[in-house]
Amino acid sequence: GDDLIMQMGPQHPSTHGVLRLELVMDGELVKKITPHIGYLHRCFEKHAEAMTYPQVIPYTDRMDYLAAMSMELGFVLTVEKMMGLTDFPERLQYIRVIMAELQRIASHLLAIGTFGLDVGAITPFLWCFRDREKVLDLFEWASGARLLYNYLWIGGVMQDLPDNFARQARDFIDYFEPRVKELNDLLSFNKIFIERTANVGIISPEVAISYGLGGPNLRGSGVRWDLRKEEPYCIYDRFEFEIPIGTGEFGALGSAWDRYIVRVREMLESVKILRQALDQLPSGDPNSATPRRIRPPEGDAYMRTESPRGEIGFYIVSDGSDKPFRCKGRSPCFTAISAIDEIGRNSLVADAVATVGSLDIVLGEIDR
């Protein structure tokens, strides 16, 4: 009848980074989960005070290193908002959307593959990584890097897209779209996978909202909230796409399966956006309006965007110099892991692993 305190992590592969979970257990039943973070502290916000605005961009890459393009986009949009920059070349706006949606697909593929691995499905992990490599090939072609890009700059990009990039990107989405059906046949609607995830890690809409969850973790609970629709930035208001939400198809609403399937369906919506953006991609110089000097006036600004994991926000205070006086990053993964006790309490220890995997956390962003 005595409780057992068990340490899960920080080296455990299913904690998706250097996260330590302190589990209070009664046999196989988890009575309490206490997350311990800080093993990957990057000091991003303090580093930013010592760097010029363009020099901060590579540091944003290292927050959510699995969605670095999304981190760059959020930061550069915040600085542009502070500087009052609004008149950008059409080609630049389309390039930013194309990169953000390719990044969303790559990030979700990793989340889906590792989640399958957490519950014992090895083959989908290999398939997802195979397809993610094709996105990384496109990123490497455009920026020279496969993980940390420094591609989206304030008022521009590192360099224009290579010749034939649009054709190669179309070839990828033509290849990728049928692969999603294969993934669904193998994993999403697999009876064993459904039984392992459909009534696990349930997050009610009220709990999701009260903890400030975002992205698939919020939409998996049936809340239709996406900043690309609610507060459109770049040129997202020009594209037709849907916002997938959890519906409780198998078991309770807001389960680990609901969060998983939202990510799968979001990839198909990203394909829709990419088709439209690639078809409409204008010619021209994306860097024709890039400011020669980045020195925002005194003041502050907050800008939020929809990263693959939810609302990433940057709050920057400027003192009129070429370096941020203060910089704060708002992490969607931090809010997700803060709710882990509420979500995982009274579950079995094997289900606690599935719950953590379904939240799709990245510790580089939590330990900013």
Cα(29)–Cα(27) distance, integer angstroms: 6
- DSSP H helical ranges for 309-368: 332-338, 340-344, 349-359, 363-366
What's the one-letter identity of residue 367?
D
Residue 27 lies in a domain: no
Token pair belonging to 128: 């997802």
Please report the sign of the dihedral spanned by the C-alpha atoms of residue 249, residue 252, residue 253, residue 258: negative
Cα(169)–Cα(16) distance, integer angstroms: 29
| pLDDT tier at 14, thresholds 50, 70, 90 | confident
Token pair belonging to 50: 């010592």
Q: Name the phi and psi angles at 35, rounded to 5.
A: -80, 140
Q: What is the pLDDT of residue 213?
A: 96
Residue 203 lies in a domain: yes
Q: What is the DSSP string of 69-83?
A: HHHHHHHHHHHHHHH
> What are the tens digits of pLDDT across the range 178-226?
999 999 999 999 999 999 999 999 999 999 999 999 999 999 999 999 9
What's the one-letter identity of residue 301?
A
Residue 342 lies in a domain: no
What's this model's pTM, rounded to 2 decimal places? Answer: 0.95
Cis peptide before 10 (omega within 30 of 0): yes
Cα(61)–Cα(149) distance, integer angstroms: 7
What mean pLDDT do residues 230-254 have?
94
SS3 360: coil
Read off the DSSP letter of residue 24.
E
Cα(78)–Cα(303) distance, integer angstroms: 5
Residue 79 lies in a domain: yes
| pLDDT tier at 260, thresholds 50, 70, 90 | very high
Residue 252 lies in a domain: yes
Q: What is the pLDDT of residue 41?
A: 87
| pLDDT tier at 99, thresholds 50, 70, 90 | very high
**40: phi > 0 → left, psi -120 to 50 → alpha, else beta; which?**
alpha
Cα(217)–Cα(165) distance, integer angstroms: 32
Domain that holds residue 285: 41-332
Sheet strand arrangement including 4-8: 4-8, 20-26, 29-36, 347-348
Residue 9 lies in a domain: no
Q: Please give the radius of gyration of the chain, using alpha carbons only, rounded to the nearest integer.
A: 20
Domain total in the chain: 1
Q: Name the phi and psi angles at 98, rounded to 5.
A: -60, -45
Please report the sign of the dihedral spanned by the C-alpha atoms of residue 235, residue 237, residue 241, residue 243: positive
Residue 343 lies in a domain: no
Residue 69 lies in a domain: yes
Q: What is the pLDDT of residue 184?
A: 95
SS3 64: coil
CATH code for position 66: 1.10.645.10
